[in-house]
Chain A
Amino acid sequence: MTALLERPVKLRTFAGVGLRRRVANSIATVLVTAAMVLALVPLVWVMYSVFDFGFGAVSTSAWWTHSQAGMTAFVAGGGAYHAIIGTLLQGLLCAAISIPIGIFVAIYLVEYGAGTRLGKLATFMVDILTGVPSIVAALFVYALWVATLGFHRSGFAVSLSLVLLMVPVIVRATEEMLRIIPMDLREASYALGAPKWKTITSIVIPTALSGIVTGILLALARVMGETAPLLILVGYSQAINFDMFHGFMGSLPGMMYDQTSAGAGASAVPTDRLWGAALTLILLIAILNVAARFGARIFAPKKF
């Protein structure tokens, strides 16, 4: 009996896949692969352009140590120090405000508000806030901070509008990290008699920390390149300004925009500065992205 079952009684014949279906399959394969390649073309092209055009300006030491104070669009020289400082200060201040808000909201959403009506509403609002255009965020800060409360336009106002853009990103990232923490960990902590807040601060947060740090750094990289708030909320200054509350302030996107109105594309000096600032900005964002990857490793929960 067993010998008979080893091979089929009748040899099976396969019809094979018809020509039309095979052709359709190949065409689809080619099309989706082409779409993938097409999607990567702009990335490579943009990166290549920025490095190619920007390298000349960035490779001088003055670029990193001098400002554009007293420079004109006709004389080469000067650097982006004022703009780097402005971008970093605005970014860091924004992060200092956004991080606690973002993390607290995420903790509420996951640990306290899950399933409640308020929690659902807040989740929806965070989604909506993600879609608010940066120019609207800037106008809101203008309407509130400058027009209603009577403060001057300043670097701080820019930071405030960046907060609106950064908070939802942090909430999203933190929420996702908190959700994947196994319930067992929390329950183990409760079983040992720890109250909820203690469980959150000493079990949940440390476990999720690496992902949260990654999310924060990526969010920071995102807001540092924002330009619209800069146009509305602070003037562009060619000189170094450390004061977040008074006066105009340089920044890398602001510097780029300033060069486009100074005749970039037509004359050489503003063109160089434009791409130099672009490359500096890309480098800054790249550093944050790399740091996000390493940060994930450093803050990863220790294995025992």
Chain B
Amino acid sequence: MLIIVLISAVGGFLLLRAIPALQRNRENFFTYGGSWVTTNTSAMHFGIAEMLQVTVLVSVFALLLAMPVALGVAIYLAEYAPRRLVGLLGYLVELLAAVPSIIYGAWGLYVLAPQLRGSALWLNEHLGGFFLFADGNASVAGGGTIFTGGIVLAVMILPIITAVTREVLAQTPRGQVEAALALGATRWEVVKMVMLPFGRSGYISAAMLGLGRALGETVALLIILRSTQKAFNWSLFDGGSTFATKIAATASEFNDQYKAGAYIAAGLVLFVLTLIVNALARVAITQKVQS
């Protein structure tokens, strides 16, 4: 089967191309967090520690924003929406996924960030003692921060979480819903006692699919996040690079197999990361659907 060959080929070729560069790396690939020095190809310095941190922070932040909204939308469409509007509203939420990520990026930096400036400054000023809102290495007022990026990313992963959660909620046995109603449950109680326990695992898998999408998102974050040389401190007002933006931003350096290899090694880590997250989510969903 072509597909199976394909997916192993992706991993295989990335590994093949990464190994020569990794052999010339003078740092520990997994723990080195400083800036990448790839100009001298016989003694390169590169590692993924900081990219991993930025990627995780921005993805988890986006996930935390998107999860409650997605659950609300899924419940609304499953139980509350007027029958005639369900199709239209569902279509509109799916349209969110049809907007190209570069447009989200441009919108996030040039339209959304100026609007967020007030609340970002407020958070930074009043809650600055808390590490998430502390002064970061990017300008809070400039908007090229993980804060802005995470919000945009949340919008982008909302449709996928919503779609999968809806699918699972829709499989709630109608009999159980009607039984609850017959016992005098209010609409909310039906949702809380019948639909949510039934759909919980599906919802969690949906969130993991969203996380997978967030980890690999490239262009929106590439436009929004300010790259910086200063160290990352787990603040939402940090800039920095995720795996994907680092690779994309330095694509012009891809003129030498060792230089490119360094970035391909980072891409391989990203591939493995998303593979694990997606595989876990898919296994959980498949089991849910079959049981």
Residues of chain A whose beta carbon lies under 8 Å from any beta carbon of chain B = 17, 21-22, 24-25, 27-29, 31-36, 38-40, 42-43, 45-46, 49-50, 101, 105, 108, 118, 121-122, 124-137, 139-140, 142-144, 146-148, 164, 167, 171, 218, 221-222, 224-228, 231-232, 253, 256-257, 260, 264-265, 271, 274-275, 278, 281-282, 285, 289
Contact = CB atoms under 8 A, between A and B. Distances in A.
Nearest to B113: A265
A164 to B, nearest CB: 7
B264 A278 contact: no
B3 A105 contact: yes
A257 B271 CA distance: 24
Contacts, number: 239
A49 B155 CA distance: 16
A115 B257 CA distance: 43
Interface stretch (B130-138, B173-181, B186-194): B186-194
Most buried by B among A25, A28, A139, A143: A139
B102 to A, nearest CB: 5
Interface stretch (B25-33, B40-48, B88-96, B117-125): B88-96
Given A25-B189, A105-B3, A143-B264, A133 B257 contact: no
A32 B107 contact: no
8 contacts: A17-B186, A24-B186, A133-B244, A225-B101, A226-B100, A231-B248, A232-B247, A289-B95
A39 B10 contact: no
A29 B72 contact: no
B69 A35 contact: yes
Given A135-B267, A136-B216, A105 B2 contact: yes
A281 B103 CA distance: 9
Given A31-B72, A164-B6, A131 B271 contact: no
Contacts of A49: 107, 111
B283 to A, nearest CB: 8
Contacts of A278: 102-103, 106
B91 to A, nearest CB: 10
Given A131-B213, A136-B14, A232-B247, 17 more contacts: A32-B76, A38-B72, A39-B93, A42-B96, A124-B279, A129-B3, A132-B274, A133-B215, A133-B218, A135-B270, A136-B267, A142-B264, A222-B97, A225-B99, A232-B251, A265-B109, A278-B106
Contacts of B263: 139
The 10 closest A-B pairs by CB, nearest first: A133-B216, A35-B72, A225-B100, A131-B278, A28-B188, A139-B267, A227-B219, A25-B186, A228-B218, A32-B76
Contacts of B10: 132, 136-137, 140, 164
A38 B162 CA distance: 13
Contacts of B186: 17, 21-22, 24-25
Given A133-B217, A144-B9, A32 B106 contact: no
B54 interface: no
B87 interface: no
B13 interface: yes
Judged by DSSP, the binding face of B is helix
B89 A25 contact: no
Nearest to A275: B106
B270 A136 contact: yes
B267 A45 contact: no
A25 B187 contact: yes
Interface of B: 1-4, 6-7, 9-10, 13-14, 16-17, 68-73, 75-77, 79-81, 89, 92-93, 95-107, 109-112, 155, 158, 162, 184, 186-189, 191-192, 209, 212-213, 215-219, 222-223, 243-244, 247-248, 251, 254, 257, 260, 263-264, 267, 270-271, 274-275, 277-279, 282, 286
B223 A282 contact: no
Contacts of A38: 69, 72
Contacts of B72: 31-32, 34-36, 38-39
Contacts of A128: 7, 275, 278-279, 282
Nearest to B272: A136
Contacts of A40: 89, 92-93
A287 B79 CA distance: 32
B154 to A, nearest CB: 9
Given A35-B71, A135-B267, A232-B251, A29 B102 contact: no
Nearest to B114: A265
B106 A260 contact: yes
A264 B243 CA distance: 25
Contact of B76 (A33, A126, A224, A281): A33
Contacts of A24: 186, 188-189
A24 B52 CA distance: 41
Given A105-B2, A285-B98, A50 B103 contact: yes
Contacts of A36: 72-73, 76-77, 81, 89
B189 A43 contact: no
A35 B100 contact: no
A123 B17 CA distance: 28
Contacts of A271: 110
Contact of B248 (A101, A108, A228): A228
A39 B102 contact: no
A137 B271 CA distance: 9
